[in-house]
Amino acid sequence: MREPGTVKEVYLRPGELHFGGADTRIHTLLGSCVALVFWHPHRLLGGMCHFLLPTRSKAPLTRSQLDGHYGDEALALLLQSIQNVGAHPSEFTLRIFGGGNMFPGIARNEKDHIGLQNVKAAKRLLQAHGLVCSASHVEGLGHRRLFFSIWDGQVRLEQSPPALPVLRPRERT
């Protein structure tokens, strides 16, 4: 499908999500955060969430207190949006992006940095809901820019390596 004449541009900050129709392009910038992208190929509906952490230590008291900063709650909010339009999550294609190591060489635990924890949590959550991921671009180094066009389901991705710290020589005394 062609790009619509008027495109609604939506930029997601960490903790935000958006669900919309065929006139929408959602974009975000990911480092160690993860984005889940849902697209309905027949109804041309879709959504994206941008979460920072797998879960919070204290569960929310009610559904109205769900917080998109956390993977489990961000997914619950997206699933709620899908239900609100009378669709079923299994009708959507689903992709996962992000989870990069933003601080290689200085992370306390290179084998379990927060980006990797986010990716593992996303995969566990999808499995727990019986959802299948059709594609992913996860882990690695640096950040990613995502541009999701709901009218055709395409996700354009730009990846950049992490900036290296500047090491200054010691002053002589």
Q: Report pLDDT digits (tens) over 59-104.
A: 666 667 899 999 999 999 999 999 999 999 999 999 999 999 887 7
Angle in degrees, CA 22, 52, 47, rounded to 5? 10
In whole angstroms, how far apart are CA 126 and each of 10, 109, 123? 24, 25, 5
Position 167 scores a pLDDT of 46
Return the percentage of the chain with pLDDT > 70, whole number. Answer: 88
Q: Report pLDDT digits (tens) over 94-117.
A: 999 999 988 777 656 667 789 999
Alpha-carbon gap, residue 21 to 62, rounded angstroms: 28
Q: Report pLDDT digits (tens) over 109-154.
A: 667 789 999 999 999 999 999 999 999 999 998 899 999 999 999 9
Domains of the chain (ranges; CATH) run 14-140 (3.30.1330.200)
